[in-house]
Chains A and B, each alone.
Chain A
Amino acid sequence: MTVIQKKADNPIAHLSAEDIEIIGKELDAIRDRVIADRGERDARYIRKVIKTQRTLEISSRAVLLFSLFPPAWIVGTAGLTVAKILDNMEIGHNVLHGQWDWMRDPKIHSTTWDWDHVSPADQWKQSHNELHHRFTNVVGKDNDLGYGIMRVDEDQPWHPMHLGQPVWNLLNAAFFEYGIAAYDLELGDHLKQKRLKDPKFRARAKAVGRKIRKQVLKDYVVHPLLSGPSFLSTFAATFTANLIRNVWSHSVIMCGHFPNGVETFEKTSIEGETRGEWYLRQMLGSANISGPRLLHIMTGNLSFQIEHHLFPDLPSNRYQEIAPQVRALFDRYGLRYTTGPLPKQVASAWWKVIRLSLPNRRDRRQPVAPGPLVPSGAA
């Protein structure tokens, strides 16, 4: 990736300012149609997913009480893994986005929800909903571009630390929920700037500590203890479930913004950004994953990352339904709708992490002056 403004073959050069505003209006219309139609069917969907998740979690944990027996270990670990993935992806992420606030059910609401994750819901909401979704793929503003530990864009300056980034990425995948908690806490910045005594930071760090304590106590003390003689095997089962959940969500999230074909943007390009331009940035800054329905549910419908970034607060079960309309819009305006099967997208993202661990081979960039999203010559 190179920020779009510096590309010799700017993929939006053919769009006029009016085109971009029309695209915005068309996307608004798609959103309004879903909202007008949103109702009982959607409510039934999320309640069913929540019920399935809870049933699966409690029964898997019950099976794990006897985890000394290998079949119980396998079934229980598999079930718990799926339950944790559903909790984080299709339920937690989406409820915390406010996708289900319209139901006015205080039990399924962005202001009351908590998830099976070490990052407290309110801190995650701030760094994810407010910063990442607003500044999507703006180099220097959207910290999701490499999470502050990696270089995933040619326009991010290289540092010898980046040589190790394939390893950082692997470690981050294995302990992703802790990575997210540290990221939401802006731990790196506070360490670098020696601002660890800042009272606001301390309060937030305490909240993370409390959440970690509860999660660890549940997964690695209470449930193993309840398993009696199966203590160690239940401990191992929960660790495995957390590990797989972490690697899975890390992979899905890497596929959202890192694969080939995804564009990045200059800081200056979002000054005075219109609604249409914001939409356009979301369209070009995200990538989908193709696959069967089960894959979409297990990714929390983040396999429809493009649709999610355009409409972060629409119910997740609707992304798949509007995807053809969104894609048709891309086609009509000659824009690239980036998508591919999971292995391909994961490989593409990993290749970028590996490639950019080294400095740029040579400066292939044309010396184009940074400018607004729409080059002035376009009309």
Chain B
Amino acid sequence: MGTEAKEPLQLKSDVLIIGGGPAGTWAAITAAEQGASTILVDKGYCGTSGATAPSGTAIWYVNPEEQARERAMMSRMDMGGNLAERPWMLRVLDRTYQNMHQIRDWGYPFPIDQTGGPSYISVQGPEYMRLMRKRVQKAGVRILDHSPALELLADSHGVAGAVGMNEQTQQPWRIDAAAVVIATGGCAFLSKALGTNVLTGDGYLMAGEAGAEFSGMEFSTAYAIVPYFSSVTKTALFQYATFYYEDGRVIEGAGSRRGRSIIAKTLLKEPVYACLDLADESLQISMRKAQPNFFLSFDRMKINPFKEKFPVAMRYEGTVRGTGGINIIDETCATKVPGLYAAGDAATRELICGGFTGGGSHNAAWAMSSGYWSGEGAAQFALKQGANRFRRNARGLAELSGVPTQAASSTNRINTEEVVQLVQNEVFPCDRNWFRSEQGLTDSLGRLNQLWYEIKQGVRTVEGSRLGVREVAAMTATARWMYESGLARRETRGMHVRTDYPQRDTAQHYRLLSGGLDQIWVKPNAAPYNSNIEEAAKA
């Protein structure tokens, strides 16, 4: 494809945002409002990329009344293994409240609920993200679509921009920036969970190369219930489902929330069917209005999901609906690397979710809140730097890590399809990833570590794509951070299930940090000071 034929596009900006989903767009708007020149790059198209754009998403929006907030904060505290932190939850509830009203003022058409006022507890992704793109442009931010970042630039003072490639024109780009926000989402390992195939952990890899730390990577066992054929991962609607064996008997205890593991265990042995037969007719209409493409899929397949039983499957959602991610060290969502910030699913969401998330609601609130703070923080950091901030002679970090940024030409090298298959073999099966054990994790890590070294020797890609190399390296690294963290947590807490340690252990009431590329390390972080006092006291 003659990737070297084109002159690189060279740009400078105070702030570079990598990723154009909710977190990245909020970050871009906020950075620009601070007076920072800002560029946003998206691997796909800002407005359609990522897990939020294709469908309806609940929002963790709670009126600022003490009792309502208290209920909202405590409702999932224990489910999350008491690892969430109250001050962060309150901050996110406040910020989300403000941001949702901001979206209303920008013209988002919120529905009117039974009280006669607007309902702020959900958004329709296509509408929300189309609006966010418009606002990013209106804020004066330059957007580069189809322009994945391949590696960060840095000097001895910290991160200084990124280089990447326009996938459609094959033109390389280099952006020198005084601060960078990673808003690349989580990693769902190309499972086709709705909108997630752009989410391959690219930002984790870049942050890892820069020396950033991760937190909670063991909380990465989210699986969605889907109709067997479908990409539309809307597990919440299965609250209204009954689950059946092939012979029509009801599977006792199976459900979309606490009973999801029963479905997974049954699926390991035999097919499982569902029917949304708990929804009455008026609710059926509401469900259709809440999630148009979930029902579009059934209609096109000529299945009546309220009357007919249909086979279901589990589609892996990885860290997109897990809670682990890049560790942030302060209220501006800074990482430990100067100039590097993280927001949305790329960052850890344990601060508000602990070790469990039910999906959209909290993650969506976190995305818009952390996006806002990271944009503000990155802009303030950038504007404090002197006039020489773009003359830093920064270099690409992949050169130091040894993870390739070019496709290998030798036919002896492994190719991207092979790597994807090998990584998926380790992370997709429920009996390996969801129901974890020391033996299973150790076996997987042996193979994944071997694969990591093979990747470093070079990877062949379709049409010589440079992005493909980075994506498979990122997925492999992510799986290794997940499983090393999972191995270190010798208990069952939040969504992390250890079959060999089925109980919660109060002595392990802490978060787990991790990092490193060739040698991965994991270590306990201090117990969160403000969650469940009782468990903290016992620990």
Bound pair (A, B): no
